[in-house]
């Protein structure tokens, strides 16, 4: 007899949810699929603000994702109160997002920076490419890819702990 398990819920956070966080969501989803854990998780993204609510990802982000071989799915939304109860891990693109997410109610131990999973990082933030050109979006993809495998391993470990009841 099998019992239904709650999925591990991860949400990626940036400012407007049209550049960095949907890119991270799509890249992470693909790497989670490759790692065989996609069926055990729910992946989402949101912005600290809701200025772009309902919008597709920025066309430059879409281009950079597709050029790198990823899907470019997403519809922008702002963080909602239920997100703080619902998600197991909040993955932020920069320090301002960490501060905002914690101030709004996420337990600090469940809030991380995306770049923390890149051992070769020069700095902790994924810079916002919105006000620049296409090259900023390409650099964003490179930064996200450098961190994603470490994040997949973290999530794999969290899933194992959840299964074990720890």
| 8 CB neighbour count, 10 Å cutoff | 21
Active site residue 92: no
Active site residue 83: no
Residues 6+ apart with CB under 8 A from 28: 10, 12, 43, 91, 148, 151, 152
Query: Which entry of 55, 56, 88, 128 is annotated as an active-site residue?
Result: 128
Residues 6+ apart with CB under 8 A from 135: none
| Ranges assigned E (strand) in the chain | 8-14, 41-47, 89-92, 111-113
Q: How far apart are CA 102 and CA 71, in angstroms?
A: 30
Active site residue 88: no
Residues annotated catalytic, as ranges: 14, 20, 128
């Amino acid at each position: 007899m099998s019992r239904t398990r709650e999925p591990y819920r991860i949400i990626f956070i940036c400012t407007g949810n049209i550049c960095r966080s949907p890119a991270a969501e799509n890249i992470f989803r693909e790497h989670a699929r490759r790692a065989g854990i996609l069926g055990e998780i729910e992946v989402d993204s949101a912005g600290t603000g809701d200025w772009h609510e309902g919008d597709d990802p920025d066309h430059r982000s879409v281009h950079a994702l597709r050029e790198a071989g990823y899907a470019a799915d997403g519809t922008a939304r702002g963080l909602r109160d239920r997100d703080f109860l619902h998600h197991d891990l909040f993955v932020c693109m920069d320090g301002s997002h960490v501060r905002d997410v914690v101030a709004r109610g996420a337990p600090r131990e469940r809030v991380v920076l995306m770049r923390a999973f890149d051992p070769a990082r020069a700095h902790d933030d994924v810079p916002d490419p919105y006000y620049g050109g296409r090259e900023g979006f390409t650099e964003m993809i490179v930064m996200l890819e450098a961190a994603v495998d470490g994040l997949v391993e973290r999530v794999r470990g969290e899933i194992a702990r959840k299964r074990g009841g720890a």
